[in-house]
A and B are shown apart, each in its own frame.
Chain A
Amino acid sequence: KQEVTQIPAALSVPEGENLVLNCSFTDSAIYNLQWFRQDPGKGLTSLLLIQSSQREQTSGRLNASLDKSSGRSTLYIAASQPGDSATYLCALPSGTYKYIFGTGTRLKVLA
């Protein structure tokens, strides 16, 4: 059974810092891994999808890496801004397309 852990649970940083969010999973036989952002009281916005054959995906200031052998993914946010404040969730399939979500990292970027 796939288990997904995200560390840290919460993070507060000053504006402009580069930061790394971590996602660990127990079953490395995955199709892909997806990072989401959730704003308070809102739905989920997909940020990046990494296929199992890829090691990295980049979108603007975001970079996600995937290391299947070690069961880890990281989301790197460069030059953080107050608008980046949200909860970040990683999700990966347990079996075919049955996505399991981590508990999330609540990020607060201080102006």
Chain B
Amino acid sequence: DAGVIQSPRHEVTEMGQEVTLRCKPISGHDYLFWYRQTMMRGLELLIYFNNNVPIDDSGMPEDRFSAKMPNASFSTLKIQPSEPRDSAVYFCASSLEGRAADFGPGTRLLVL
């Protein structure tokens, strides 16, 4: 198994642009998580899905952030419009209920 796959690995964009981050979870996993990591706040859970259904999005910072999981093998996190304070590393993780979570390599986002 290739593990959790995220793309792009790095993204540099200008303020106001739309940013879409992508994640392919491990096949068979039924939970998918989106996290954001910054120096100031550490790792924060943004949203998680169970069987493609969003369960808890209370960590999503603003309406500018949205996430979808159209099927079991794909999820997106979209920021529109992006702002410099959104600069962070965004991680996607997946797990099978009750078992250890596997993290992707992350997407480093820089908003200028």
Measuring CB to CB, which residues of chain A are less than 8 angstroms from any residue of chain B? 31-32, 34, 36, 42-46, 49, 51, 89, 91, 95-104
Which residue of A is nearest B3, CB measured? A43
Contact A34–B100 (Cβ < 8 Å): yes
Which segment of B60-68, B80-88, B103-111 sits at the interface? B103-111
| Bound: A44/B101 CA distance, A | 10
Residue from the list A31, A95, A103 in contact with B56, Cβ < 8 A: A95
What's the interface size class on B, roughly?
Answer: 20 to 34
- Majority secondary structure of chain B interface residues (helix, strand, loop or mixed): strand
Contact A97–B31 (Cβ < 8 Å): yes
Residue from the list B56, B98, B103 in contact with A44, Cβ < 8 A: B103
Contact B91–A43 (Cβ < 8 Å): yes
**B49 CB to nearest chain A CB (Å):** 10
Q: Which residues of A contact B101 (CB under 8 A)?
A: 34, 46, 91, 99
| Bound: A38/B63 CA distance, A | 30
| Bound: A91/B44 CA distance, A | 11
Q: Which residues of A contact B102 (CB under 8 A)?
A: 46
Which residue of B is nearest A6, CB measured? B42
Q: Which residues of B contact A97 (CB under 8 A)?
A: 31, 48, 50, 55, 95, 97
| Bound: A68/B105 CA distance, A | 31
Please name the 10 residue pairs, one residue from A and one from B, whose CB atoms are nearest each other, closest first: A101-B43, A49-B100, A44-B103, A43-B105, A46-B100, A43-B103, A43-B106, A103-B42, A98-B56, A34-B100
Q: Which residues of A contact B104 (CB under 8 A)?
A: 43
| Bound: A16/B98 CA distance, A | 34
